[in-house]
Structure 1
Amino acid sequence: MIESPAIPIYLLAFMLVLGPLVFLHELGHYFAGRWFGVKAEEFSIGFGREIAGITDKRGTRWKFGWLPLGGYVRFAGDMNPASQPSQEWLALPAHERARTFQAKPLWQRAIIVAAGPIANFIVAIVILAGFAVLLGQPSTPPVLATVVAGSPAAAAGLQPGDRITALDGRAIDTFSDAQDYLILRPNEAIKVDLVRSGRPLRLDATIGVREMKDRFGNVARIGMLGISSGEPELRRVGLLEAPIVGVTETWRAVQTTIDGLGQIITGRRSVKDMGGPLKIAQVSGQSLTMGPYAFVFLIALISINLGFINLLPVPVLDGGHLLFYAVEAVRRRPVEPQVMEWAFRGGLIAILALMLLVTFNDLGAFGVWRNLAGLIG
């Protein structure tokens, strides 16, 4: 087991991961707004009191806040959390009002809001496409070379030479697809579709559980069947195909995120598995010590999750704004300001509660509660 990095490494890695990703997310909003002629009044990395900043010739204040857990772009006319026009906006001269966020058509406002998460997905696509060109694409066929005696696979009746085609209806193209699906589902009963000697079969299987400890001592419970493939195969990827591979791998990561969220909602996975900023800092620091490939790959994964989370239809998040825009498009008039105000208050409370929960989980993972119990006892 390797000793975990020191706290300064955690902090450095956290800032190297989250800082650029938040900046690029907000830059997506900024450039989309600029494309449609909206004036950006503030561009902030971090929240709270300004530490340092500069105002450009367009009148945008670029600044750093003292709490580096996010960021924002404030457009002219976007004067409250629900993006509702205020009396100040109504009092603006016509030429200034035309450069505000609220003066733009609904479709332009929707693009400006969606541009942040889209920027995060683009970052991930570029990184994963680059990895495909440099390292190749895993393409080991989902054909079983061995089935461990006494394993869940053996109990289900799987045999060497079987080619897995689907797991619970999800198509399996490579052995990596099967591994990714199984790892997230310990103790779950599934249907295994396969081809044996040219004949299609469907078998019932219950995924087993294995506790894995990584080089830093972190323990995780993962699903396993007790199967292995032949020699790993990597397929060379050209520059023209790389963007397609990047999109495909990004979508696979989104599916994994959706699967994990669904398991937590349905109670198949504990909420204790959810991590927050402290967990991100820990994983970032550990990935940084493992080398540039591991660290950049983590940046891609966090960028995907940042984009996905921001698209959730929760007021305060980008997805909440898009939800209200969709309602506005159907109703052909905006949602009433008081309804939006209460919705955004509720969304803010939900986000704060989630932050408290994941921080509580993070502190537990670091052993804080166990140590406190020992001191009190």
Structure 2
Amino acid sequence: MLFTIIIVLFSLIALTVLHEAGHFLLAKKFGVKVEEFGIGYPPKVYGKKFGRTIYSLNLLPFGAFVRILGEEDISDSQESFSSKPIWQRALILLGGVVSFWVVAFLIFTLIIGVGGVPTAITDDFSPAETSAYVQILQVSPDSPADLAGIKPGDIITKLKVKSEKLKVEEENISQAKEVQNFVGEHKDEEIIVFLQRGEENMEIALIPRVNPPQGEGAIGVILARVANLKYPWYQAPIQAAKLTFQQTKAIPLALVKAIKSRIGGEKDSGLQFVGPIGIGQIMGQAMHQGWGNYLMLIAMISIWMALFNILPVPALDGGRLFFLVIELIKRKPVNHKIEQRLTAAFFFLMVALMALVSIKDIIRLF
């Protein structure tokens, strides 16, 4: 448990460090003075100056930061952020956002080239050099699967009716329709579901419903037939770039669809807001399902963070870019005090929302 917490915390800190490194490198490139590059937040534990920048380790392990001359306060120095042309300031801000996409691309390249990327396939597709498996993608709340303890990411290996085997041979179920047909034939009977969760194998008993709610199956899960599709090393970067683009496009579309479903009153819209605690819990679950799943989740979180950070909201990089667009149109900077007040207001609003969601995460845990 402690090892999992350390790995999850290290991963999240590493993402923020790489994000800040994007700002840092482009600031250096354009001759902007970076006063400090810190890991964690103050109070400072240790700091060492190399060149003209202080590199520090700080007590609160919740991220990282760069302190750039002239970014928060107006400075007349030629090395300040505020003195640089709009296009250079925009690239410095975009550096942090783009770094998230770069991280996702590199992780996808590693997964695709080494272990293969989990990909949903049809039942009639026969993947070469790899075996397919049936994985649970989503579990409906209060369904038989949910009450029995089945979780997203679990792999169904076998099914039984009490002591009767579904098949005589000891083979993994490899098609989603096998599970669907079996469950349909044994509604209102106790069945045993054999699951693989990471390196752990388990047996779970449940009773499929005869009349499930609309939009849910007899046991309340969404299944997919999955195979780890691997590509030659020289094709891996191309496939990784495609996957990064596809997920960047798919995430906002899925979010909009889920919000519309929630507004429409659907019980299970697939939308669940979580804070740092909830994200840490999800990452811990992914780690127990194997390092491949964990790395996939890190890549997806990285894309989420890129999309979130690019939003035109004060206190985010996208908000700072929005102010630059206004400056470009008006041909003069936005009033510094107004920008600071808006940034502070939205920062405290986001902190309050994060605290509220974190409280809900804690309640959900217990």
2:79 is equivalent to residue 99 of structure 1: yes
2:128 is equivalent to residue 114 of structure 1: no
List aligned pairs for 1:171-210, cutoff 5 A.
none
Quote how far apart the aligned CAs of 1:118 are: 0.7
Deviations along 1:228-286, whole A, 9 cap, x unmatched? 88x86665423333222212222333334324543565434779821111122222333
Distance in 2, Cα, partners of 1:140 & 1:13: 28
User: 1:362 matched to which residue of 2?
Assistant: 361
Quote how far apart the aligned CAs of 1:210 are: 7.5
Distance in 1, Cα, partners of 2:92 & 2:303: 19
Alignment equivalent of 1:67, drawn from 39, 55, 60: 60
User: 1:50 matched to which residue of 2?
Assistant: 44
Quote how far apart the aligned CAs of 1:76 are: 1.4
User: 1:255 matched to which residue of 2?
Assistant: 249
Change (3 A) 1:99 1:363: same
Change (3 A) 1:139 1:72: closer
Distance in 2, Cα, partners of 1:364 & 1:227: 26
User: 1:241 matched to which residue of 2?
Assistant: 235
Distance in 2, Cα, partners of 1:28 & 1:63: 17
Quote how far apart the aligned CAs of 1:9 are: 3.1
Distance in 1, Cα, partners of 2:360 & 2:222: 33
Give the stretch that moved more between structures: 15-24 or 285-294.
Answer: 285-294
1:14 and 1:280 in contact (8 A); partners too: no
1:133 and 1:242 in contact (8 A); partners too: yes
Between the two proteins, the alignment pairs up a number of residues equal to 288
Q: CA RMSD in A?
A: 3.6
2:13 and 2:64 in contact (8 A); partners too: no
Alignment equivalent of 2:110, drawn from 130, 134, 139: 130
Change (3 A) 1:355 1:234: closer
Change (3 A) 1:69 1:139: closer
**What secondary structure sits across from 2:99 in the alignment?**
helix
Give the stretch that moved more between structures: 312-321 or 62-71.
Answer: 62-71
Quote how far apart the aligned CAs of 1:51 are: 1.6
Percent pairwise identity:
29
Distance in 2, Cα, partners of 1:233 & 1:50: 47
Change (3 A) 1:32 1:110: same
**What secondary structure sits across from 1:69 in the alignment?**
strand
List runs of 5+ in structure 2 lacking aligned partners.
125-131, 152-196, 203-212
List aligned pairs for 1:137-156, cutoff 5 A.
none
1:10 and 1:281 in contact (8 A); partners too: no
Q: TM-score, normalised by structure 1?
A: 0.66
User: 1:342 matched to which residue of 2?
Assistant: 341
Distance in 1, Cα, partners of 2:66 & 2:29: 15
User: 1:18 matched to which residue of 2?
Assistant: 12
User: 1:156 matched to which residue of 2?
Assistant: none
Change (3 A) 1:272 1:350: farther
Distance in 2, Cα, partners of 1:20 & 1:10: 15
AA paired with 2:22?
G
User: 1:291 matched to which residue of 2?
Assistant: 290
**What secondary structure sits across from 1:284 in the alignment?**
helix
**What secondary structure sits across from 1:74 in the alignment?**
strand
List runs of 5+ in structure 1 lacking aligned partners.
1-5, 91-96, 146-175, 187-207, 368-377
Distance in 2, Cα, partners of 1:271 & 1:287: 18
**What secondary structure sits across from 2:244 in the alignment?**
helix
